[in-house]
């Protein structure tokens, strides 16, 4: 497989995953804006949504203040925001177009029709409660793409590069969401324990579609320690670090076999997964959740850089 | 309301049609090959056809079968209109075309071998030396080189027009990098999806084997340095090229890599592509990049689409370039007029397919005829393409004709002239029902260890009423082309 093909598959999947995550974040932001003021204002919530989406600075450079309509436009439709859902779908599609031969027809159709249908929607069309339906649609399309891939793509190198892109991005997103809200998870806050906190915790879980599965796993009310544990260490939670790295490791092992020797990216992924498997939340909270998340984001980026080197992306 | 085979526009045409219609004879009867198509058309409702038309568009758009329009940023991918009514070619008509095409491509490859070697045809005085040597399309770098299998043009798209019952003419030979084959294949896919019952009622020769035959053709011309099974790749200029869809489609259908210049490099006398494990050797490169961009060291030095050193490697036998560089000399418009002669020269046979009558302004008598008849001729610049530097006499103003006359007189050898052709018509789906529209035909020919011709080809149709221009850039569409089996 060409290095360029591998790079395109990797970035295609990253951007589809990102589009889905931005849609989730927007949905949560919207939801919060519909609930009574929780004490520190809706603006703060849209701000944290922007931060989690990685676009706060960019947004503030162009808009002097946070206005819900502008934020929604920025996150979903703004072609100048490289991480807007529109930009993500376009980048994903351009990558897919460059490697049409490596995709199945189902995958291409799922992505291409999403792109085409999305292009006909404008922010103005989404007034009066149509937003949730639209965001549902984005998530469904992402799920359709993933399903097409899992159902039709040969389990060869192309599959693994695509998986790597999706899981590196997903781990990155989960880490950012946690990092934006890490202060509500700090043990000192637990003493407060009021409705507002419970609401904040639920928000975090909701943004990764885990508010119901949480209860299945913990059979308990929301507790910050559990929320963090769920999203970081639980191997059965499909958006947790541990889950993502399980798949990253598997794909890198398969690719290392193709190359004929373990690659630096695999070595690093091994180390990360080992740390996650042996880690526990008490220790993480003790040394600082924010510090832990910052370090994880750094290591995740390093794995991404190694992948590009190891497999001749350029 | 149905979309009756007896066209909706007949009422507006008092005179008998001036054009040969492939479905309907001049006495109004339906030709045998179209019998079932006509019956089927009579059964279709207008609304039903409109729905099928929408469905077809949705299929093409979803598959991404689009062509890029340069400089059009807002919607830089467009669909080529698809005409639902298939064009039918009877078995015996196709046998005739097939023989004619085979003879022609064989002769043109012999011609290319000759002019890049001993140039017997020039020595014999059958073609003027400066028409070849002074031609931009002639590549002196190819002199004395034997391409694998002595094949120069492996993939040919011969443009054929029809003007009467038995009147077929070759309009252009297209020996460089002809495109359109993906439309032929996808048009068939779409038709089988939309109208399976029509296929059940006919014996339509399949076209689906084209990618496999292309692969066999490419595998049959490995370079001397290749040991074992040759590795094939398709070279594209990239996703912004207007035919990118076709490049990726063909690579995919053949199961080979689609590469860009930046993926390739030359090392130790071999061509490699950069892969995830390092590198992999390429033996046969089906390039969809023009000659001048292939190798910045041999041709245009500003090209980033090719590979430095590729041409030297080719000459050294390290890689096969398909089609060979320099094939353009054989489909040059000035050389075109000599093709019937060329066929006789190399094969000793009379040409089976005729040329469109062509006057060469380089020859004084013929030039005089052209000047005297400008009002009814099409004048073409010999190296031009795509309608630039072209005069369509019957549609030109007097001033335009006078200006062209001056141009011709200033440099006669730069021009040829042909009559305006009465292209045949086929029934087309035109919203209000069906109506005759002008068509041409591009069959696709593969030349390797043997000659393989896919039955049918790409039919382009001028969807505008009365238009004779089938180019997609000017409102032309495509339709599925059926060769009926006996």
DSSP notation for B19-66: S-BSSB-TTSPBPGGGHHHHHHHHH-BHHHHHHHHHHHHHHHHHHT--
Number of structural domains, chain B? 1
What average pLDDT does chain A have?
89
Q: Do B64 and A101 touch (CB under 8 A)?
A: no
Residues of A in contact with B64 (CB under 8 A): 97, 100, 108, 112
User: Partners of B451 in the beta sheet?
Assistant: B447
Query: How many domains does the structure of chain A reveal?
Result: 2
Range of the domain at B368: 357-419
Q: State residue A27's pLDDT score.
A: 87
Q: What angle do CA B246, B356, B392 make, to 5 degrees?
A: 80
Contact assignment for A98 to B262 by CB distance below 8 Å = no
Q: Which pair of structure tokens corresponds to residue B145?
A: 């080189």
Nearest to A245 by CA among A283, A287, A296, A286: A296
Q: Domain limits at A121?
A: 1-153
For residue B391, tell me if it sits in a domain: yes
Q: Is the pLDDT of residue B10 over 80?
A: no
For residue B84, tell me if it sits in a domain: no
Tell me the pLDDT band of B76, cut-offs 50, 70 and 90.
Answer: low
Nearest residue on chain B to A157, alpha-carbon basis: B276
Does residue B371 lie within any of the structural domains? Answer: yes
Residue A113 sits at the chain B interface (C-beta within 8 Å): yes
Is A3 close to B62, i.e. CB distance below 8 A? no
Indicate the range of A201-215, B84-98, B287-301 predicted with least confidence: A201-215
Same domain, A149 and A160: no
Do A141 and A165 have their domain in common? no
What lies within 8 Å, CB to CB, of B262 at 6+ separation is: A4, B304
| ipTM computed for the complex | 0.77
- Identify whether B486 is part of a domain: no
Question: What is the Cα Rg of chain B in Å?
Answer: 23
Q: Is residue B107 predicted with pLDDT exceeding 50?
A: yes
DSSP string, B289-309: S-GGGS-TTTS-TT--SS-TT
- Please tell me whether residues A108 and A194 are part of one structural domain: no
Instruction: Please say if the pLDDT value at position B68 is more than 80.
Output: no
Contact B263 A4 (CB under 8 A): yes
Q: Does A197 touch chain B (CB under 8 A)?
A: no
Mean of pLDDT values over B224-242: 93
Least confident of B51-65, B161-175, B261-275: B51-65
Instruction: For chain A, say whether B252 makes contact (Cβ under 8 Å).
Output: yes
Same domain, A146 and A210: no
Q: For residues B79 and B255, what is the distance between their CA atoms, to the nearest angstrom?
A: 25
Read off the pLDDT of residues A151-163 as tens digits, 9 standing for 90 and up.
Answer: 999 999 999 999 9
3-class DSSP assignment, residue B281: strand
Which stretch of A3-12, A60-69, B258-267, B346-355 has the lowest confidence by average pLDDT?
A60-69
Is A129 found in the same domain as A168?
no
How far CA A200 is from CA of A35, A204, A233, B379, B459, in Å, comes to 12, 7, 20, 77, 63
The string of pLDDT tens digits covering residues B110-155 is: 999 999 999 999 999 999 998 999 888 999 999 999 999 999 999 9
Q: Report CB contact under 8 Å: B277, A258.
A: yes
Query: A120-172 pLDDT, tens per residue?
Result: 888 878 876 788 899 999 999 999 999 999 999 999 999 999 999 999 999 99
Q: How close B231 gets to chain A, by Cα (Å)?
A: 13
pLDDT for position B15: 47
Question: Over 80: is that where the pLDDT of B398 sits?
Answer: yes
Of the three residues A89, A123, A153, the one that is the final residue of a domain is A153
Number of neighbours of residue A40 by Cβ within 10 angstroms: 9
- Strand residues in A68-177 grouped as ranges (E): none
Q: Is the dihedral of CA B351, B357, B363, B366 positive or negative?
A: positive
Residues of B in contact with A5 (CB under 8 A): 257
Half-sphere exposure of A29 toward its Cβ, with a 13 Å CA cutoff? 31
3-state SS class at A81: coil
Is A116's Cβ below 8 Å from some Cβ in B? Answer: yes
B410 within a domain of the structure (yes/no): yes
| A276 shares a domain with A258 | yes
* B62 → closest Cβ in A1, A99, A113: A113
**Same domain membership, residue A159 and residue A149:** no
In our burial notation (b when 16+ CB lie closer than 10 A, e otherwise), range B288-314 reads bbbbbbbbbebbeeebebbbbbbbebb
* Contact criterion met (CB < 8 Å) for B252 and A100: yes
Alpha carbon separation from B52 to B46, B111, B411, B458 (Å, rounded): 10, 47, 52, 20
pTM value is 0.84
Which residues does chain B have within 8 Å of residue A1's beta carbon, measured at their own beta carbons? 257, 275-276
Of A105-109, A112-116, A205-209, B181-185, highest mean pLDDT? B181-185
**Residue B84, number of CB atoms within 10 A of its CB:** 22
CA distances from A43 to A64, A166, A189 (A): 13, 31, 21
Could you say which of A97, A99, A259 has the minimum Cβ distance to residue B277?
Answer: A259
The distance of B257 to chain A (nearest Cα, Å) reads: 8
**Domain match, A101 and A52 both:** yes
- Per-residue pLDDT, B12: 40
B73 part of contact set with chain A, CB < 8 Å: no
Does residue A52 sit in the same domain as residue A3? yes
Q: Is the pLDDT of residue B69 over 60?
A: no
* Interface check B118 vs A, CB under 8 A: no
Residues A175 and A105 grouped into a single domain: no
Shared domain check, A169 and A34: no
Q: Does B304 touch chain A (CB under 8 A)?
A: no
Select from A127, A153, A179 the last residue of a domain.
A153
Residues A163 and A116 in one domain: no
Residue B395 placed within a domain: yes
Q: In what order do the strands lie in the sheet with B444-447?
A: B155-157, B444-447, B451-453
Last residue of a domain, one of A105, A133, A153: A153
The answer, yes or no, to whether residue A185 has pLDDT greater than 70, is no
Closest residue of chain B to A4, computed from CA coordinates: B263
Flag whether residue A271 sits within 8 Å of chain B, measured between CB atoms.
Answer: no
B94 in a structural domain:
no
Q: Is A156 on the interface with B (CB under 8 A)?
A: no
Name residues whose C-beta falls within 8 Å of residue B258's C-beta, 6 or more positions apart in sequence. A99, A100, A101, B233, B234, B236, B247, B248, B251, B252
B249 touches chain A (CB under 8 A): yes
CATH number of the domain to which B392 belongs: 3.30.1490.270
Q: What is the nearest CA distance from A160 to chain B, expressed in angstroms?
A: 12
| Inter-chain residue contact A113 with B244, CB threshold 8 Å | no
CA distance A212 to chain B (A): 36
Kindly state whether residue B387 falls inside one of the protein's structural domains: yes
Residues in A touching B193 (Cβ below 8 Å): none
Mutation for B interface: A3, A107, A314, most B CBs within 10 A: A3
Please compute Rg for chain A using Cα positions.
Answer: 19
Q: Does the pLDDT of residue B7 top 80, yes or no? A: no
Residues of B in contact with A112 (CB under 8 A): 61-64
């Amino acid at each position: 497989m060409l290095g360029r093909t591998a790079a395109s598959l990797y970035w295609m999947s990253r951007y589809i995953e990102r589009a889905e995550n931005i849609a989730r974040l927007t949905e949560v932001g919207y939801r919060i804006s519909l609930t009574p003021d929780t004490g520190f204002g809706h603006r703060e919530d849209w701000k944290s949504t922007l931060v989690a989406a990685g676009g706060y600075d960019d947004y503030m450079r162009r808009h002097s203040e946070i206005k819900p309509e502008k934020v929604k436009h920025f996150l979903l439709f703004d072609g100048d925001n490289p991480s807007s859902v529109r930009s993500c779908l376009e980048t994903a599609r351009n990558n897919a177009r460059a490697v049409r031969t490596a995709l199945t027809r189902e995958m291409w159709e799922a992505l291409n029709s999403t792109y085409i249908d999305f292009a006909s929607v404008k922010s103005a069309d989404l007034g009066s409660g149509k937003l949730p339906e639209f965001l549902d649609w984005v998530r469904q399309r992402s799920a359709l793409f993933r399903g097409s891939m899992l159902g039709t793509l040969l389990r060869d190198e192309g599959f693994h590069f695509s998986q790597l892109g999706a899981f590196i991005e997903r781990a990155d997103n989960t880490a950012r969401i946690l990092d934006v809200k890490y202060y509500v998870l700090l043990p000192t806050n637990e003493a407060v324990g009021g409705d507002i906190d419970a609401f904040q915790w639920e928000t975090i879980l909701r943004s990764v579609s885990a508010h119901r599965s949480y209860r299945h796993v913990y059979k308990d009310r929301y507790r910050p320690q559990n929320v963090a544990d769920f999203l970081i260490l639980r191997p059965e939670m499909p958006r947790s670090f541990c889950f993502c790295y399980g798949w990253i490791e598997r794909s890198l092992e398969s690719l290392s076999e193709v190359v004929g020797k373990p690659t630096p990216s695999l070595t690093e992924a091994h180390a990360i997964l080992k740390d996650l498997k042996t880690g526990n939340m008490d220790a993480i909270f003790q040394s600082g959740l924010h510090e832990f998340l910052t370090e994880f984001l750094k290591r995740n980026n390093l794995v991404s850089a190694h992948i590009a080197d190891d497999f001749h992306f350029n | 309301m149905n979309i009756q085979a007896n066209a909706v526009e007949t009422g507006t045409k008092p005179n008998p049609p001036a054009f040969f219609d492939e479905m309907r004879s001049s006495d109004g009867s339906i030709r045998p090959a179209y019998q079932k198509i006509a019956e089927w058309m009579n059964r279709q409702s207008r609304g039903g056809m409109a729905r099928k038309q929408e469905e077809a568009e949705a299929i093409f758009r979803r598959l991404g079968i689009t062509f890029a329009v340069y400089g059009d940023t807002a919607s830089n991918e467009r669909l080529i209109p698809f005409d639902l009514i298939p064009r039918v070619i009877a078995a015996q008509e196709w046998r005739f075309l097939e023989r004619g095409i085979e003879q022609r491509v064989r002769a043109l490859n012999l011609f290319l071998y000759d002019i890049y070697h001993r140039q017997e045809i020039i020595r014999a005085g059958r073609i003027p030396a400066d028409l070849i040597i002074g031609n931009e399309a002639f590549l002196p770098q190819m002199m004395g080189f034997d391409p694998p299998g002595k094949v120069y043009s492996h993939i040919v798209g011969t443009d054929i027009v029809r003007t009467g019952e038995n009147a077929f003419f070759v309009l252009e030979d297209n020996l460089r990098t002809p495109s359109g084959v993906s439309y032929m294949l996808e048009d068939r896919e779409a038709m089988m999806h939309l109208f399976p019952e029509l296929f059940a009622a006919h014996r339509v020769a399949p076209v689906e084997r084209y990618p496999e035959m292309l692969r066999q053709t490419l595998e049959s011309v490995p370079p001397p340095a290749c040991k074992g099974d040759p590795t094939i790749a398709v070279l594209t200029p990239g996703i912004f090229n207007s035919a990118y869809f076709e490049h990726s489609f063909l690579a995919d259908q053949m199961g080979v890599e689609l590469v860009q210049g930046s993926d390739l490099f030359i090392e130790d006398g071999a061509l490699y592509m950069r892969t995830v494990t390092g590198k992999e050797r390429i033996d046969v490169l089906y390039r969809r990049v023009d000659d001048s961009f292939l190798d910045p060291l041999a041709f245009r030095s500003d090209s980033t689409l090719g590979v430095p050193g590729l041409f030297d490697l080719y000459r050294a036998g390290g890689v096969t370039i398909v089609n060979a560089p320099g094939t353009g000399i054989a489909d040059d418009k000035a050389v075109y007029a000599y093709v019937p002669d060329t066929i006789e020269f190399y094969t000793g046979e009379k040409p089976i397919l005729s040329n469109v009558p062509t006057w060469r302004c380089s020859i004084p008598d013929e030039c005089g005829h052209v000047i005297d008849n400008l009002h009814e001729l099409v004048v073409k610049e010999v190296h031009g393409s795509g309608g630039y530097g072209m005069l369509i006499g019957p549609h030109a103003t007097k001033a335009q004709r006078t200006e062209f006359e001056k141009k011709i007189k200033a440099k006669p050898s730069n021009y040829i002239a042909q009559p305006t052709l009465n292209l045949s018509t086929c029934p087309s789906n035109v919203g209000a029902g069906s109506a005759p529209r002008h068509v041409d035909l591009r069959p696709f020919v593969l030349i390797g260890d043997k000659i393989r011709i896919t039955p049918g080809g790409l039919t382009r149709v001028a969807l505008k009423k009365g238009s004779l221009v089938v180019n997609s850039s000017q409102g032309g569409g495509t339709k599925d082309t059926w060769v009926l089996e006996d």
